[in-house]
Amino acid sequence: MALIKTKGLVIKEVPVSDTDKILTLITADYGKISVSARNARRMPGPSSFGTQVLTYGEYVLFRGKEHYSFNSCDVLANFYDLANDIVSFTHAAHMLDMAGDACRDPISSPQVLNALVHGLHALRKGRDPMLVSSAFAFKLMQITGYPPHITSCVSCGTKDMEAIYFSVKKCGLLCENCAKGEKDSIYLSNGIAKAIIYVMCAENSGVFSFGLSKELIGTFSDIALRYIESQLDKKYNKLDFLKELKDI
């Protein structure tokens, strides 16, 4: 086995015995990988941090022909404190799910990792969790090759759009005339249209450095969720838990 070093973030941990874990990491160099961590459940204190979900670190791994094994980790940041707020923690878990599903090759993984770490930092700083996870969803789709068309009407090509709509089916913006023929078209206020365009153009922490009113965040989030579910052909249910809490 060869020793390799890479930055990564633990998005999942599964106990496989009384002592061991299987970790899922998004890494800067090798894409999404599974890592066997022997005795991880017995490691004392700080020694176990590198094997916990929401740890971002520089990992030293043994690389075999078909698998990776944990050797050590220099923790660069951890986001365990997000668990102190159920809303932030749920949105963080939602972001980990989306990242894990979208990160399918090593080419995009450095950008996915970068966006994920910046998004988790934004949650820690108290940014609106729904806004952060929704912006992350849009950025994730752009990074992994599924960006919405935002420079003109996706159907007719016009850039002269007094009223702007969004179509999940068409994967982008629609003018008012073209929106009439699309049942799934959603009217966008100027604020939401600008927010989607902003996220597509922003980089690093800037992706999460904008604001919307509570009313607009709800629509922005709905569009982001419907879009990523359509592109990845998957239903995401973690946020339903927060809706259930509100109904109690």
More confident residue, 185 or 1: 185
Pairing of strands 32-37, 68-78: parallel
More confident residue, 44 or 128: 128
pLDDT tens sequence across 7-61: 999 999 999 988 899 999 999 999 999 999 988 887 766 667 789 999 999 999 9
Percentage with pLDDT > 70 across the chain: 97
Query: Tokens representing 6?
Result: 């890479």
What is the mean predicted confidence (pLDDT) over 188-215?
96
- The pTM of this model reads 0.94
pLDDT tens sequence across 97-120: 999 999 988 888 999 999 999 999
| CATH architecture designation of domain 2-78 | Beta Barrel (2.40)
Dist. CA 221–CA 132, nearest whole Å? 9
What is the mean predicted confidence (pLDDT) over 216-243?
95
pLDDT tens sequence across 185-200: 999 999 999 999 999 9
| CATH architecture designation of domain 81-247 | Up-down Bundle (1.20)
* pLDDT for residue 84 is more than 90: yes
What is the pLDDT at residue 103? 92
What is the pLDDT at residue 42? 79
Domain locations in the chain as residue ranges: 2-78, 81-247
Percentage with pLDDT > 90 across the chain: 83
* pLDDT for residue 163 is more than 90: yes
Q: What is the DSSP string of 12-30?
A: EEEE-SSS-EEEEEEESSS
